[in-house]
Amino acid sequence: MIPYWRLSGYYFFYFAFVGAFSPYFGLYLQSIGSTAAQIAVLMSLMSVMRMLAPTLWGMLADRLGVRVPIVRLSALLSMLGFAGFLVSDAYASLFASMAFLAFFWSAALPLVETLTFAHLDGQAGRYGNIRVWGSVGFILAVLGLGYLLDDLPIRAVLWVTLATLGGILACALVIPEARRPVRASSHQPLGAILRRPEVRSLLLACFFMSAAHGALYVFYSLHLVEHGYSKTLVGWMWTLGVIAEIAVFMGMPQLLRAFSLRAILVFSFAAAVLRFLVIGWAADSLALLLFAQVLHGATFGAYHAAAVAAVNEWFGAQHQARGQALYGSISFGAGGMIGGVLSGYTWDWIGSAWTYSLGAVFALLGLLVLLGGWREPSPGERV
């Protein structure tokens, strides 16, 4: 039996944390006097650690043959790291707390993705029905906190975010370990998988896609507030993007029957180019911003679901933890770090419009890499 609600609950709280943290923590840092560069560095520590930690934890999980104990440990230590924000507003203290939080928080998701696919046991199309609860958690957190912050001080972000980390820990304690398949005689070495052109092109393209989203995750809320939008509307804008994401996750079984993974990814990258140009140059038009947020269903929802499905198929049972960790490290880690840090320096230097245009350039580079390195499957092929 698939432990549907226990896995769904984990995703719910994991992305409720993202919904409380990503849109509003930058506003909190601004309120205590942090500069744009300091905000970018602090927020990008999440990406730096996602570059290092998932691979280390994935190797450990594959070697030990267990994943759940690592997920539980990461949940507990993430809470301890975040508690440091309640102690001091000094930049050095903020940096240390963020680094500690990020190292352990980033360890968990690739392992939970591996657990989910192991429990699904060949029913990859049902992944979206479980992952969608993460989107629901994100919506409730980002929307609810947006309303709260219209009446409460910005420091409320800390307490709400800490509560979501407590939810992650509670769910981690009840997630069951998945049975590991017997090693097949046709086991393929990890190096041979990584030498395949479609694998390398996807991982490089994913790096560019996350770099393209750097300014979005660090400065989107500030961008809207600076253009006169309320914090409540900020919450609704994030919510709209995730509603589009939910629709895509729910429709992934149908999309996978109708289109190849490559075709879904190509469309997602093309949509990202358009989306970031619109956000950068049409911020005064609410209608165009609404359109850009709907594109989040493609630039994250379809993109992420197709990418993890490809990794799941290419890396096989023996390398699942490391495969998902590599995907997370290269894309959300290295790509997110580069995009986030660069946006912190270009934001004050060349302005928001050109910063988001740089994001569009990153998405275009990813599209070109994908088109050039991953050939179109012949009829009857999958991935």
- Token output for 80: 């301890």
- The structure's pTM equals 0.76
pLDDT of residue 326: 87
Cα distance between residue 161 and residue 97, in whole Å: 14
Q: Are 207 and 361 in contact (CB under 8 A)?
A: no
Mean residue pLDDT across the chain: 88
Q: Directed axis angle between helix 320-328 and helix 36-64, to 10°?
A: 170
How confident is the model at residue 272, as a pLDDT? 98
Residue 189 is encoded by which pair of tokens?
């070495």
pLDDT tens digits, residue range 341-370? Answer: 899 889 989 999 999 999 999 999 999 999
Report the pLDDT averaged over residues 206-214.
95
212 CB-near residues (< 8 Å, 6+ apart): 272, 276, 339, 359, 360, 361, 362, 363, 366
pLDDT digits (tens, 9 = 90+) for 1-50: 778 788 999 999 999 999 899 888 988 999 999 888 888 889 888 878 87
Q: pLDDT tens digits for 58-110? A: 778 777 878 899 999 999 999 999 999 999 999 999 999 999 999 998 888 88
